């Protein structure tokens, strides 16, 4: 468990590469955060979703957080990397950030697993990304 606080975020006019200006949104600045980091133990998007449902129940029971993902009081960042079938070693990861519902987590993770599988089947390399 890591204790942190939310920082301001940059909001760009258009996309970041062609933006003529950026604004700083301080709305969540200073809000306390508890970041929970796990080992790469989940073997499917459904396992990750079930873990989050159970985690939300725990933080609600403890009174730490209301667990309302849709309002931003609980969010999920996840790394996806496929294991080499021969060696079992983890491949290059892609990070998916700020998912705000259990359905979004499962859907985004499944999309990323399928994307990485397709690239590997086509002989392409996985590039470390954050999205």
pLDDT value for 76: 94
Determine how β-strand 32-35 pairs with β-strand 22-25. unpaired
The parts of the chain modelled with pLDDT lower than 50 are none
Whole-number Å distance between alpha carbons of 80 and 66: 27
pLDDT value for 12: 85
pLDDT value for 28: 82
pLDDT value for 107: 97
Whole-number Å distance between alpha carbons of 95 and 77: 7
Whole-number Å distance between alpha carbons of 120 and 90: 13
Whole-number Å distance between alpha carbons of 79 and 51: 15
Q: What is the value of pTM for the model shown?
A: 0.80
pLDDT value for 8: 82
């Amino acid at each position: 468990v890591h204790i942190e606080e939310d920082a301001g975020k940059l909001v760009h006019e258009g996309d970041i590469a062609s933006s003529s200006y950026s604004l700083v949104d301080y709305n969540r600045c200073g809000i306390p955060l508890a970041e929970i980091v796990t080992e790469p133990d989940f073997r499917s998007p459904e396992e990750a979703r079930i873990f989050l449902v159970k985690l939300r129940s725990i933080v609600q029971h403890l009174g730490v957080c209301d667990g309302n993902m849709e309002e931003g009081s609980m969010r999920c960042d996840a790394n996806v990397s496929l294991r080499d079938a021969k060696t079992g070693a983890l491949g290059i990861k892609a990070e998916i950030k700020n998912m705000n519902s259990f359905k979004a987590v499962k859907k985004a993770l499944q999309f990323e697993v399928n994307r990485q599988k397709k690239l590997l089947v086509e002989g392409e390399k996985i590039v470390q990304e954050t999205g």
